Amino acid sequence: MRKFIASIQFIVFIGVTLGFVLSVYAEEPKKRIKNSLGMEFVWITPGNFLMGSPVDEPGRYTGEILHTVNLTNPFYMQTTEVTQAQWQALMDSNPSSHKRCGDNCPVEQVSWEDAQRFIRKLNQKEGTDTYRLPTEAEWEYACRAGSTTAFPSGNITTLQCDVDDNLNAISWYCGNSQNRVHPVAGKKPNAWGLYDMPGNVQEWCQDWFGGYPDDEVVNPTGPEKGSYRVMRGGVWYSPARDVRCASRFGSPPRYRFQHIGVRLCRTP
């Protein structure tokens, strides 16, 4: 009888343990997802990082105040910039100035307001409300991919258009682009599988452009109002200093330029 009871207890234990393991496994988020337009997203685990640049970083601009950011919510980041084909498929138009570059090149000549229209239509198409622009903090966190150097691939060795081996591996900038935009994912991704975060085209962020705080912040979203929206990432014709992880720029949300595109986030 004791052996029988022990056997039953063991079976129950195994069942409970297996049920727990299966439950945890079932709740594990997908590391990569792809939507109806073929846009691929990777899972970004939350964490702390130093946003901005240290005072001794070559090429640093005033205002890149180094401060701790605590991101407490996971998110998905699109692996590439939105392509011309993806924009065309949803919006039935292609505003790009560089159409000859091809369907797999980043869409550009889109304003922040255009990006919002694209997001609303994509959410409507897929019956969700999860697509959005990244905050500026999310963008830099994803760009750095755990690094603390000027580029996610290493330190900066030139401020202008000379070849920087660290940057050359992951980015299209004035040192290697032949003064033209390139198809997405033509260079190596960063450690988290994200392509073209530095260079190729700049990318809109959700935030209004404003000054940085001195102290630690949690899930920052920028100023409540402003005149300019944040752009990040540098451009194919940018000097190396403007393609650093910490480099930041702003533009009125209605403006369209041939060097500004968009990369989406998705809330789990």
Condensed to tens digits (0 to 9), the pLDDT of residues 242-257 reads 999 999 999 999 999 9
Helix, strand, coil content of the chain in percent (nearest 5): 25, 20, 55
Token couple for 233: 């990432």
What does the alpha-carbon distance between residue 169 and residue 176 come to, in Å, rounded to a whole number?
A: 10
116-142 tens-digit pLDDT: 999 999 999 999 999 999 999 999 999
Position 9 scores a pLDDT of: 53
What does the alpha-carbon distance between residue 106 and residue 189 come to, in Å, rounded to a whole number?
A: 16
Domain formed by 31-266, architecture: Alpha-Beta Complex (3.90)
Residue 28, pLDDT > 90, answer: no
Position 24 scores a pLDDT of: 38
Position 7 scores a pLDDT of: 54
Cβ atoms of residues 267 and 132 within 8 Å: yes
Pick left, alpha or beta for residue 120 (phi over 0 → left; psi -120 to 50 → alpha; otherwise beta): alpha
Position 29 scores a pLDDT of: 84
- How confident is the model over 139-159, as a mean pLDDT? 98
Which strands make up the sheet holding 131-132, listed edge to edge? Answer: 32-34, 40-44, 75-78, 265-266, 131-132
